[in-house]
Structure 1
Amino acid sequence: MANQGPTYGLSKSIQSKIEKKYEPELEERLVEWIVAQCGSEVGRPEAGRVGFQVWLKDGTVLSHLINSLYSEDQKPLKKIQTSDKAFKQMEQVSQFLIAAEKYGVNKTDIFQTVDLWEAKDLAGVQRTLMALGSIAVTKNDGHYHGDLQWFHKKAQENKREFTEEQLRQGQNIIGLQMGSNQGASQAEMGGYGNIRQIISMKKT
């Protein structure tokens, strides 16, 4: 694996399971979307996980991708620089991840920089890009380019607004699951723990 030393024992087993989560068909879809979104200037990777990793590793393609989802005057990443220095590449990837979270990708769907840069979890990279595409389709703000069928729309929150008067009225309603307050009485109830007295009426 590129940029990664050999793994042994348990760590090798875990890495093998992570690698099996990587989906070649999903890779093809994501490449098609990124090219449609950014234009042919971002090029295309060699097929396969290694080619996909090398294509995205320096952060420039990812930076162009997130910028393409905004209008010209609102692009989140003002500087996109190609560099052969590791720390510059990792910094660019980190800037993409911050921008992706601000765009709406859940923190739990965000990969770590080393997941891409050291090819530790390329399936996680796919997950982040899928989440990004789904949000772009859902927003429907004119900045998404590509086939709408490539991503599922995210479920949108259905917020309901109530007036203060409606909220006050709701406080006076007793839910049916709580039973009824009609006919309830504490008559003939003693103190807590006392036995309730039963009075029998004798006929005279």
Structure 2
Amino acid sequence: MLLTLWDAWGPGGGLDVQDAGKLIDAEVAARWSRGLFPSVTMANKGPSYGLSRDVQSKIEKKYDDELEERLVEWIVAQCGAGVGRPERGRLGFQVWLKNGVVLSELVNSLYPEGSKPVKIPKPPPTMVFKQMEQVAQFLKAAEDYGVVKTDIFQTVDLFEGKDIAAVQRTVMALGSLAVTKNDGHYRGDPSWFMKKSQEYKRDFSDSQLKEGKNVIGLQMGSNKGASQAGMTGYGRPRQIIS
């Protein structure tokens, strides 16, 4: 029977919470390596039917194979050949990024030495919850880098394969930000990503601001182009010549 926290920490256990947790992790890892647990993923659920299946099918159709190729090229150029390459296709792309290590390498490469935001474990995590934690750290770092929340995928989108197109969208947004910042950390072809629009600040002097108060705004109408030529004064009869 699997050692429980109560066995290790309860009466007679003699261990504090941290030591008990480490002991349980070690036993789980040992049994996993001996094949005593079945292969477990977060996707162990029955197939979708009806409306759920239709929705999932539409989501899967959003996956862009051409974008996948571009993103893979950028990740390899940015992180180095050590990250390897995935098998072509949605499943291969998912498996490549699933444990969070490649994604963490990617976001770390956009920072200078000594300022890397994500700690990458050695060897790569194999436990399910550790992999999900690694992905979550990448998402936090991507958001801190400037990726807006609407472009951030959910952990289950990658881990369960629910929406790999959303994963593509997050990586693409990260690349666009890196190109836009142009701080020397981007590697690869800048044409792979669109630059994000940037604000254009204008500074006006006090005298210019005062002059602006005397200008009639367009929303008030315009006094240009109007003419009284040919008009008669008020109260005078119109002269009709036959």
Distance in 1 between residues matched to 2:191 and 2:44, nearest whole Å: 35
Shift in Å, 1:41: 1.1
* Equivalent residue number for residue 84 of structure 1: 126
* 1:62 partnered with 2:103: yes
Q: Which shows bigger deviation, 86-95 or 157-166?
A: 157-166
RMSD (CA atoms): 2.0
Relative contact order higher in (CA < 8 Å, ≥ 6 apart): 1
The answer on 1:108 being equivalent to 2:108 is no
Q: Which amino acid aligns with 2:114?
A: D
Report the AA paired with residue 152 of structure 2: I
Taking structure 1 as reference, are residues 27 and 166 closer, same or farther at Cα in structure 2, changes over 3 Å only?
Answer: same
**What TM-score comes out, normalization by structure 1 length?**
0.81
After the TM superposition, which residues 31-46 of structure 1 pair with which residues of structure 2 at under 5 Å, given as runs?
A: 31-46=72-87
Residues 131 and 140 (structure 1), Cα distance of their counterparts in 2 relative to 1, 3 Å cut: same
Give structure 2 stretches of 5+ with no counterpart. 1-41, 224-242
Task: Give how far 1:171 is off.
Answer: 4.9
Match of 2:58 in 1: 17
Match of 1:3 in 2: 43
How many residue pairs are counted as aligned between the two chains? 180
* CA–CA separation in structure 2 for the residues paired with 1:122 and 1:157: 32
| d(CA) in 2 for partners of 1:159, 1:102 | 24
2:171 is matched with which residue? 129
Distance of 1:172 and 1:95 partners within structure 2: 55
TM-score (norm 2): 0.69
Calculate percent identity across the aligned residue pairs. 71
Deviations 1:128-155 (A, max 9, x none): 1111111111111111111122111111
| CA–CA separation in structure 2 for the residues paired with 1:180 and 1:25 | 52
Map 1:125-204; keep pairs closer than 5 Å. Answer: 125-163=167-205, 166-167=208-209, 170-171=212-213, 173-179=215-221
- Mark the CA change 1:27 to 1:178 in structure 2 (over 3 Å): closer, same or farther: same
Q: Choose 1 or 2 for highest CA Rg.
A: 2
1:53 is aligned to 2:110: no
Q: Deviation at 1:38?
A: 0.3
